[in-house]
Amino acid sequence: MGRKIIMSITGLFLCSFLVVHLIGNLQLFNDDGGAAFNLYSYFMANNIVIRIMEIVLLLGFLFHIYDAIVLVRKNKAARPIQYAEVRPQENSTWSSRNMGLLGTVILVFLIIHLWNFFVPARFGGLEGVVIEGAEYENLYIRVVESFQIWWYVLIYVLAMVALAYHLIHGFQSGFQTLGLDHKKYTPFIQMFGYAFSVIVCLGFAIIPLYFFFLY
């Protein structure tokens, strides 16, 4: 049960990261040739508070993933012989039963995503760009170029669908795991979690679609 509590706390923490990440990304929609976004990415790569939070975030991901692996193994061991016939659709939602599968899709996406944007932005490999007389790395052009590739856009959109389903179950489940359940507040948490999942994932998915179709 302790492990589920860690799953819940890290999961809800990662939800808060999604909000920060999405708000930052909205600068991509500034019609200024990417200046605001590049200044923002410079800030994110150099600010000390952000750099510390980057480590906390990494730990959040690592604990969430490690615990998921341990729990899946434990849960599989709890039923060594499977039923010949099951009708789980009669008693539970698909996403609640497939959190591991959805999480794996998100992890694969995360690796692709980090490799394409985070690694060059953080460890070098981007072109330079001059903004108000100073030289910055041009992460914006990397975003623009990446989202001209149709299969890349497709990966992003599919990953966001997986994330939405992961969050639709995970957000409210995280509160339950902490015992935060009350008939006055739980309906609100469930509704908020649903809206949160859809809006955040839609927000992320719009970015590649915007650059592919409208840029």
Partner 1 sequence: MAGSNPNAKPMNLTLKVWRQKNRDTAGQLVSYPVKNVSPDMSFLEMLDVLNDDLEIRNEEPIAFDHDCREGICGACSLFINGRAHGPERGTTTCQLHMRHFKDGDTITIEPWRAAAFPVHKDLVVDRSAFDRIQQAGGYISVNTGGVPDANEIPIPKTVADKAFDAATCIQCGACVAACKNASAMLFVSAKVSQLALLPQGKTERKTRVENMVAQMDIEGFGACTNTGACAAECPVGISLENINKLRREFIVAKATSENVA
Footprint of partner 1 on residues 148-187 (CB under 8 A)? 169, 172-173, 176-181, 183
Residues with Cβ within 8 Å of residue 94, at least 6 apart in sequence: 165
Nearer to partner 1, 133 or 179 (CB): 179
Task: Kindly state the smallest distance separating residue 66's Cβ from partner 1, in Å.
Answer: 14
Judge contact between 152 and 208, C-beta under 8 A: yes
- Asked if 21 touches partner 1 (CB under 8 A), the answer is no
Buried b (16+ CB within 10 A) or exposed e, 36-74: bbbbbbbebbeeeeeeeeeeebeebeebbbebbeebeee
Strand 128-131 versus strand 134-137 pairing type: antiparallel
Footprint of partner 1 on residues 26-45 (CB under 8 A)? none
Q: CA-CA distance, 203 to 66, in Å (whole number)?
A: 28
H or E segment at 177?
A: helix 150-177
Nearer to partner 1, 126 or 168 (CB): 168
For partner 1, which residue of 48, 84, 134, 214 counts as binding (CB under 8 A)?
A: 84
Q: CA-CA distance, 149 to 160, in Å (whole number)?
A: 17
Q: How far is CA 172 from the centre of its chain?
A: 16
- Of 9-17, 80-88, 131-139, 158-166: span binding partner 1 (CB under 8 A): 80-88
Nearer to partner 1, 60 or 174 (CB): 174
Task: Kindly state the smallest distance separating residue 171's Cβ from partner 1, in Å.
Answer: 11
For partner 1, which residue of 48, 49, 77, 134 counts as binding (CB under 8 A)?
A: 77
Give the chain's length.
215
Footprint of partner 1 on residues 92-151 (CB under 8 A)? 92-93, 96-97, 99
Binding site for partner 1 (CB under 8 A): 1-5, 71, 74-75, 77-88, 90-93, 96-97, 99, 169, 172-173, 176-181, 183
